[in-house]
Amino acid sequence: PGIDKDIANAYNKIGDYDNAIKYTRENLARITDSTYDRSHDLFQLGLLYWKKATANSTDASSSDYDLNTLKQAENVFAEVSRLKPNSYVGYYWRAKANALMDPKNARGLAKPYYKRAAELLEKEGGDKDYLIEYYKQLSYYYYINKEMNSSVEYAQKILELDPEDDFAKQMVALKVK
């Protein structure tokens, strides 16, 4: 027992994500204890799909992502969210996967997950840097959809956490004009 997990970790270290995914799935399939918390192992599986989907992309603005693999990552992170509904982690990674599947925010795929992650992190008084990232994503989404009041609302939340944030200052300045 557990050898599949060790093999998956070894493949992950050398960047062989197909085999890492295969052995992680085999490890998960062997777990028969109904009280076992699968969320951590599923999260690791989601990260493997994420790494595989983004491995061949040369920069963050690229759209050279493997969309089928991103969808698999999103499905796994959805299961993590279901198992741990009060944790921001699954929602955050769902947002990241959906953001890559909708790089221009045309469909707003990532928005509900960034919102939920922000709500959960706000509730637990969580990490300022993550909150700023979520707020920036939401502010930008509303900006490109010409919903300036909502865009500025999130920009102001950023400024409460970091009064020197240039992005937030620019968004608030747009509203004033």
pLDDT tens, residue by residue, 114-170? 999 999 999 988 889 999 999 999 999 999 999 999 999 999 999 999 999 999 999
Q: Is-contact 12 23, C-beta < 8 A? A: no
Pairwise CA distance, residues 111 & 153, whole Å:
15
Q: Is-contact 158 149, C-beta < 8 A? A: no
Pairwise CA distance, residues 77 & 47, whole Å:
9
For residue 108, what is the enclosing H or E element? none
pLDDT tens, residue by residue, 78-117? 999 999 999 999 999 999 999 999 988 889 999 999 999 9
Pairwise CA distance, residues 65 & 103, whole Å:
10
Of 131, 127, 99, 125, nearest to 112 (Cα)?
99
Q: 8: how many CB neighbours lie within 10 A of its CB?
A: 26
